[in-house]
Amino acid sequence: MNTVLSRANSLFAFSLSVMAALTFGCFVTTAFKDRRVPADIHVSKVMLKNVDDFTGPRERSDLGFITFDLSADLQPVFDWNVKQLFLYLSAEYSTKSNSLNQVVLWDKIVLRGENPKLNLRDMKSKYFFFDDGNGLRANKNITLTLSWNVVPNAGILPLVAGSGQVSLPFPDAYETTKSY
Amino acid sequence: MLSIFKSIPSHMDYKGQKLAEQIFQGIILISAVIGFVYGLIIEQFGWTVYIVLVGFAVSCVLTLPPWPMYRKNPLSWQPVIPETSGESSQKPQETLKKKKHK
């Protein structure tokens, strides 16, 4: 500690250690918090088509088009350890050939500082709702779920599943629009 | 260019070094506690980092330059003995030579 450089080294190393301890403290204060919030999903229109699917092994597959409304208040999820939220809407159903199918239809990134109250109307799905085969037609039960991934400043990234679900049957014939 | 910086005296005596270390550790710990509580209250971790950086800057100013308060206990060196050059420097060398031959 006799020279300026030696004192500066000591000071800087101590500051970094203290900063690391503070970051760990930040993680500990929010590690066990429940990140679930009720969300409201409402589907207004569903249309089904049977089209050529070049990514799959067969000639034609079912393709669904969903129009939905989404509202949720995400303000309680944000705290000082949350950088952003990654939301995604997924559809889950079972068919004769596969017992469990999960397809992501739409996603959104909500940064801290943006408006956390979601109120989306008449949203179209962002990604193609292709089925592995023809299992969407006359399917009795397709469940849409909104889940999210919390991206923190420090610590683990919890995946919060299923806040708000809605189940609906799909139309019996192709190229017909079913309204709810 | 480095020689200019090396010629500026930046030493502190031992008590001064201890005082400097206590000062910067205290300042940084206090600013860390204040920053943690303030960040927790306003729900923004960025402010915690800013407050710790302010504490770092304050302790840089207080402990890096050799202020006079760190030089209050200088070491008391023995007074310089004036050299009676020729004789005293030769005698140790002779005894050294004898030991080597053995």
SS (H, E, C) B46-96: HHHHHHHHHHHHHHHHHHCCCCHHHHCCCCCCCCCCCCCHHHHHHHHHHHH
Distance between CA atoms of residues A87 and A91, nearest Å = 14
By Cβ distance, the residue of B11, B28, B66 closest to A14 is B28
Tokens coding B4: 């200019």
Q: Are strands A159-160 and A129-130 parallel, antiparallel or unpaired?
A: unpaired
- Return the structure tokens found at A93: 């159903």
Cα-flanking dihedrals φ and ψ of residue A113, to 5°? 110, -30
Note the ipTM here: 0.74
Mean pLDDT score, A60-74: 87
Which among B42, B43, B52 is the nearest to A19, CB-wise?
B52
Residue A35 identity? R
CB contact under 8 A, A26 and B56: no
Pick from B30, B56, B61, B62 the residue to mutate for testing the A interface (most A CBs within 10 Å): B56
Q: Are A177 and A107 in contact (CB under 8 A)?
A: no
pLDDT tens figures, A117-142:
888 888 888 898 888 878 778 788 88
Q: Which residues contact A176 (CB under 8 A, 6 or more apart)?
A: A47, A48
B29 chain-A contacts, CB cut-off 8 A: 18
Q: Which two tokens stand for residue B24?
A: 């910067």
Q: How confident is the model at residue B48 (pLDDT cuts 50, 70, 90)?
A: very high
pLDDT (tens digit per residue) in B49-79 = 999 999 999 999 999 888 888 888 888 888 8
How confident is residue B88, by pLDDT bands cut at 50, 70 and 90?
low
* Mean pLDDT rounded to a whole number for chain A: 87
d(CA A144, CA A103): 9
Determine the distance from the C-alpha atom of residue B41 to the mean position of all C-alpha atoms in its chain, rounded to a whole number: 38
8 A C-beta contact, residue B27 and residue B60: no
Residue A78: closest C-alpha in chain B:
B43
Distance between CA atoms of residues B63 and B23, nearest Å: 7
CB contact under 8 A, A19 and B49: yes
Q: How many helices (H) and strands (E) does chain A have?
A: 1, 10
CA distance B25 to B59: 8
Q: Which residues pair with A64 in a beta bridge?
A: A48, A129
Q: Tell me the three state secondary structure of residue B93.
A: helix
Distance CA A49, CA A152 (A): 40
Of A15, A79, A154, the CB nearest to B28: A15
Burial zone of A161 (CB within 10 Å; 0-12 exposed, 13-18 middle, 19+ buried): exposed
The residues facing A93 across adjacent strands are A101
What tens digit of pLDDT does each residue of A3-62 get?
Answer: 888 999 999 999 999 999 999 999 998 888 888 888 888 888 888 888 887 877 777 888
Q: Nearest 5°: phi and psi at A83?
A: -95, -45
pLDDT of residue B84: 74
User: Residues 6 or more apart from A179 whose CB is under 8 A from it?
Assistant: A44, A45
Q: How far apart are CA B55 and CA B38, in angstroms?
A: 14
